Structure 1
Amino acid sequence: MTLDIKLKSFEALTTQELYDILQLRSEVFVVEQDCVYQDIDGKDQKAWHVLGFKGDKLVAYTRIFKPGIYFEESSIGRVVVKKNERKHQYGNQIMVFSIETIKTHFRESVIKISAQYYLKTFYTNLGFKAVGETYLEDGIPHIAMFHRF
């Protein structure tokens, strides 16, 4: 099944969409990964939000940034898919959409992500290349990865 993917600025999000985004991020990053961290980091207002719907339910999400906001390069973060929906390849769909959006809408040629290390193969299959050593971010091993067009 193909996701219905929407791209929205922070100001264009409905209250319900924002609630659903924060609920999904908390469900996965805080509860499932058992990681206490400050998800609401003041950057959502500067991000573009990529929402992946299955019917009327938010099941996948990323936020994307123009260069200079999160990293020097454009970036993708908070990549998340609802646990019981991961078997449908929605992570791949939402990432391809996010990458294409940066390429076509931002007209950028480099994307930097801070990837959870256990997802390195997932991102490599999307064209990202790992750079440098692993590091801890909120107690979870991460690695910097770059995608160049």
Structure 2
Amino acid sequence: MGVLHVASGPELTAGDLYDLLRLRVDVFVVEQECPYPELDGRDLLPSTVHLWWRPDSAVLGCLRLLDEGDAVRVGRVCTAASARGTGVGAKLMAAAVDRIGDRPSVLGAQVQAQGLYARFGYTPVGESYVEDGIPHIEMRR
């Protein structure tokens, strides 16, 4: 089944942070072949909130919420290859939207994933753009 975990940056244990970073690197850097600076200095900020799905010892999906003042940015949304199509991403997004509440929120969606975000009230804004060789589109809710 699984368990949803939520923690602000300072509440993360070293083990949790390692597991989140490992999944993000596995998905974004290795699988999608996007070498980028994963360690951006924002994961441990008090205002950053991490959500992740862990049924046992392995994290199957995660995302983070960044407070950008006028909006909350949903980012680093990823699901382990072994858990795709199981609803993990939808569970994480539902929890994120619940946590965000009525505040405006934004995200940079990979174009092929915009259907997932549309289910939670996000709509495309502007034109698509290429980031790390992958088409993206800004979405707002």
Q: TM-score of the superposition, structure 1-length normalised?
A: 0.87
Q: CA RMSD in A?
A: 1.3
2:75 equivalent in structure 1: 77
**Residue ranges of structure 1 left out of the alignment (5+ in a row):** none
* Number of residues of Structure 1 aligned to a counterpart in Structure 2: 139
Deviates more, 1:124-133 or 1:19-28: 124-133
- Matched residue type, 1:52: W
Is 1:44 matched up with 2:43? yes
Hey, what does 1:140 align to over in structure 2?
134
Q: What does residue range 75-114 of structure 1 map to in structure 2 within 5 Å?
A: 75-103=73-101, 108-114=102-108
Structure 2 residue matching 1:87: 3-state secondary structure: coil
How does 1:20-59 map onto structure 2 within 5 Å?
Answer: 20-46=19-45, 47-59=48-60
Q: Which moved more, 1:136-145 or 1:73-82?
A: 136-145
Q: Deviations over 1:9-36 (max 9, x none)?
A: 1111111111101100000001110111
Hey, which bits of structure 1, 4+ residues long, moved more than 4 A?
A: none
Deviation at 1:66, TM superposition (A): 2.1
Q: Give, as a single letter, the amino acid of the residue that structure 2 aligns with 1:38.
A: P
Identity %: 34
Gaps of 5+ in 2: none
| Amino acid in structure 2 at the alignment position of 1:143 | I
**For each residue in 1:106-145, what CA deviation from the matched residue of structure 2 results, as whole angstroms up to 9, or x when unmatched?**
xx43111111111111211221100100112222211110
Letter of the 2:100 partner, please give it. I
TM-score where L is the length of structure 2: 0.92
